[in-house]
Amino acid sequence: MEFSHTWPLMKIKGQEVLTQKQFSKNKDFYMSVINVENVSKSYRDQKALSDFSLTVEHGDVVALLGPNGAGKTTFVKCMLNLISADSGNISIYDIDSNDPMSRSRLVYLPEKFTFYSYFTVEETLKFFAEFHQVEKSLVKERIQEALGKLSIGELGKKKLSELSKGQMQRVGLCIAIVADKDLIILDEPFSGLDPIGIKDVKDICLELSSKGKTILINSHILSEVEKFAKKVIILNHGQVKAQGPIDEVRGGMSLEDRFYTLIKGTKEESGEVHV
């Protein structure tokens, strides 16, 4: 598969040329959404990622799990090209992550969403709708839909400075809905949310997945991830300890127990489990 360096032209097998709109509709051309091959990254003498590989398919809900310092954030930063890997390759929809076009079909929500405090919630969502090039005729409808799904319809006219941490997190999640991208990356999406907010996030993730969206979640809350993730990747000290469909990774245990065994287990259990 050969890509031109500039949008909108793209050659497939040297023959067919797709526009951006057609590209979005022809997902069957692409074997995977995210493909990571042997990525390593060090900070001075500290190994953050070591020969890290994974594949994420269309419609997957994938949880990236690991203790603090496991390499989760480093991987996400490498994928978003915020930092450069020392070696290896990362592609998104078959486009190298070093190419800005690789990020045209994703939306990323950081753990702590912040924005101009004097913007209202609706103004914030309008700004990001424009940033993500949402059709103007759809913006109002998308915003109302997102506010409703996150149960914050009454906050539309409030300034961000008036919101709690949990409400700010909901606003960030609204952006993911308004943007309507094919790949959604959520960093600790349950942070600051009450039980209702957590359920809203899970329901939204399942709904988006059913529509063919692909979701990558970085989370510490194993009990919640276990209820809706299709696949998990467990990292420790920059190395993959297990990855695959969640039921197979658990191996008859709870995800929490399996996680603890892999991270704190015996030497015999410390190798990678790939299913």
The answer to whether 223 touches 201, Cβ cutoff 8 Å, is no
- Single pTM value for the model: 0.81
Structure confidence by residue, pLDDT tens digits, 54-112: 999 998 999 999 988 888 999 999 999 999 999 999 999 999 999 999 999 999 998 88
Nearest to 245 by CA among 27, 109, 115, 62: 62
Characterize the bridge pairing of strands 106-109 and 183-187. Answer: parallel
Amino acid 268: pLDDT = 40
Instruction: Report the C-alpha gap between 267 and 269 in whole angstroms.
Output: 5
As a whole number, mean pLDDT of residues 234-251 equals 92
Nearest to 132 by CA among 175, 171, 179, 176: 179
Structure confidence by residue, pLDDT tens digits, 172-221: 999 999 999 999 999 988 887 888 888 888 888 888 888 889 999 998 88
* Mean pLDDT computed over every residue of the chain: 84
As a whole number, mean pLDDT of residues 46-54 equals 91
φ, ψ at 38 (rounded to 5°): 50, 50
